Amino acid sequence: MRYLFLLLIPLIGSCSDEYTPVPTSNGPAWEISGVVLDGGTGRPIAGQSVDLVRLERSCRWCKVRAVDFVTTATDSAGRFVFNSRVVGVYDLYAVSSKNSFCADSKALGYLSSQKMSVRLEIPQKSCIARM
């Protein structure tokens, strides 16, 4: 049993708060497109900010950290597009400009060569404040 504990010490030590990001590489192109709708009316929301966040972790047991993000705004039809060659795990967020408690998000997972369409719905009138 004592030898098993000694084998685990290097694994425990590798999960410190010091973070070394995994180098990014240029992979195949991927694209995320979608639309942001008012959750109450179903109408598109023009000019809505949409954030795409790339996540990484330095070891299997460590916390996931946001390493970079890109923001765009929807067009007059509520549509947005992100494309890149940086492979990784991504999340997508849209937060209402009228009420920061009104939001929608999607965990997109690992992106490398996919084309994906996403629908985000933000309730514009009735959001419950979360404390």
Letter for the amino acid at 117?
Answer: S
Average pLDDT, 10 consecutive residues per value, the chain (131 residues): 39 43 63 92 92 81 78 95 88 81 85 90 67 41
Please give the pLDDT value at position 26. 66
Please give the pLDDT value at position 124. 64
**Residues in Cβ contact with 7 at an 8 Å cutoff, skipping those fewer than 6 apart:** none
Please give the pLDDT value at position 8. 38
The structural domains of the chain, ordered by start, are 24-122 (2.60.40.1120)
Please give the pLDDT value at position 61. 72
What pairs with residue 53 in β-bridges? 69, 91
| Cβ–Cβ under 8 Å, residues 87 and 26 | no
The model's pTM is 0.71
List of long-range contacts for 10-17, beta carbons under 8 Å, 24+ apart:
11/61, 14/58, 14/59, 15/58, 15/59, 15/61, 15/62
**Residues in Cβ contact with 90 at an 8 Å cutoff, skipping those fewer than 6 apart:** 32, 52, 53, 54, 55, 108, 109, 111
